């Protein structure tokens, strides 16, 4: 994004009504704001041109099936300005994925906007359905939080899509989980190109940091392929990979213990004690996600 912006806006529709959002015309979402007029026409970017707007950062957006960005800038005579950016990522899962890539790593003010959002340092981001929405503001001082929240709420109300978090997040045990550490990785899971489509979550128990992950393959065969490639990578015999418990001695990650059933692979890395690994994997297994047929 070329312009780092300022000033926030309160949402008032000039005519008293704003067009409801249509999936095909996101520009209708942007409201008129009192004392902060729109600056220029809406900006529209495709997968080919997203780089134009956010340069190298575009690459990671493209990993999450980025379809289109529509953005509107606002600026007033005092030089205050702001931006609303709406990224269309094709699915609620991918919207969560890119949202999770940019979550704050410190405690922030998480908000019940869309499926989830947060406010931090003149920024308010949220996701809803296939949309990842980013608002930047500057200059409203003590009113900034209130106004950003109101604006985000209005924009969220106009966007179509689910407000549910991915159901897979519920399959991670609560005990020891680092709040808001869940991410969905579309590719390069654990630093391997052959591992993809995984939820990963950080944990701290008894000062031990470790990570749980849940790979959701399109099919059992997809999981088999991933695991066999992983086996080959770590020098294990791919032919030995069958459903059930699997343990790899990974040169980069240490001992990685996994379990595979159907189109799900769940695993842990960072725990040295075998019993500790068994315990956390057993806890995941209690959710019986592998018994649930695919929607």
Which residues of this protein are in contact with other proteins, per CB under 8 A?
Answer: 1-4, 25, 27, 41-45, 47-49, 51-60, 62, 70, 79, 81, 101-105, 121, 123, 125, 183, 185, 187-188, 190-193, 252-253
Q: How far is the CB of 54 from other proteins (least distance, A)?
A: 7
Parallel, antiparallel, or unpaired for β 254-261 and 264-269? antiparallel
| Cβ closest to other proteins, residue 48 vs residue 207 | 48
Look-up of token digits 């695991």 = 227
Closest CA relative to residue 220, chosen from 263, 261, 258: 263
Q: How far is the CB of 40 from other proteins (least distance, A)?
A: 8
Q: How far is the CB of 192 from other proteins (least distance, A)?
A: 6
Q: How far is the CB of 294 from other proteins (least distance, A)?
A: 26
Residues 6+ apart with CB under 8 A from 101: 60, 64, 183
Q: Is 11 exposed, middle or buried (0-12, 13-18, 19+ CB in 10 A)?
A: middle
| Cβ closest to other proteins, residue 55 vs residue 146 | 55
Q: How many Cα atoms are found within 13 Å in the side-chain-facing hemisphere of 187?
A: 9
Q: Is 183 helix (H, G, I), strand (E, B) or coil?
A: strand
Q: Please state the φ and ψ torsions of residue 169, each to the nearest 5 degrees.
A: -65, -25
| Cβ closest to other proteins, residue 7 vs residue 289 | 7
Q: How far is the CB of 53 from other proteins (least distance, A)?
A: 8
Q: How far is the CB of 25 from other proteins (least distance, A)?
A: 7
The DSSP symbol for 25 reads: B
Strand (E) or helix (H) holding 40:
strand 38-45
| Cβ closest to other proteins, residue 34 vs residue 121 | 121
| Cβ closest to other proteins, residue 107 vs residue 164 | 107
| Cβ closest to other proteins, residue 57 vs residue 170 | 57
Residues 6+ apart with CB under 8 A from 167: none
Parallel, antiparallel, or unpaired for β 208-216 and 264-269? antiparallel
| Cβ closest to other proteins, residue 70 vs residue 147 | 70
Q: How far is the CB of 8 from other proteins (least distance, A)?
A: 15
């Amino acid at each position: 994004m070329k312009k780092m912006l300022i000033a926030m806006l309160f949402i008032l529709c000039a005519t008293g009504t704003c067009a409801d959002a249509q999936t095909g015309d996101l520009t209708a979402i942007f409201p008129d704001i009192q004392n902060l007029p729109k600056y220029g026409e809406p900006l529209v970017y495709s997968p080919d041109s997203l780089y134009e707007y956010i340069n190298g950062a575009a690459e990671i957006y493209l990993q999450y099936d980025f379809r289109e960005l529509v953005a509107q800038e606002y600026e007033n005579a005092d030089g205050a300005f702001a931006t609303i950016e709406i990224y269309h990522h094709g699915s609620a899962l991918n919207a969560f994925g890119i949202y999770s890539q940019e979550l704050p790593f410190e405690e922030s003010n998480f908000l019940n906007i869309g499926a989830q959002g947060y406010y931090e340092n003149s920024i308010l981001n949220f996701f809803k359905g296939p949309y990842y929405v980013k608002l930047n503001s500057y200059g409203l001082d003590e009113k900034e939080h209130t106004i950003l929240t109101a604006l985000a709420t209005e924009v969220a109300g106009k966007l179509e899509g689910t407000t549910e978090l991915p159901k897979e997040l519920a399959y991670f045990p609560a005990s020891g989980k680092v709040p808001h550490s869940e991410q969905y990785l579309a590719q390069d899971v654990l630093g391997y190109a052959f591992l993809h489509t995984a939820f990963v979550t950080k944990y701290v128990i008894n000062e031990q940091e470790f990570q749980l992950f849940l790979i959701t393959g399109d099919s059992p065969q997809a999981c088999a392929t991933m695991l066999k490639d992983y086996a080959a990578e770590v020098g294990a015999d791919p032919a030995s990979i069958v459903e059930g418990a699997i343990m790899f001695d990974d040169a980069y990650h240490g001992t990685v213990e996994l379990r595979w059933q159907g189109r799900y692979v769940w695993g842990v890395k960072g725990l040295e004690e075998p019993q500790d690994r068994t315990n956390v994997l057993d806890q995941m297994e209690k959710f019986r996600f592998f018994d649930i047929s695919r929607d």
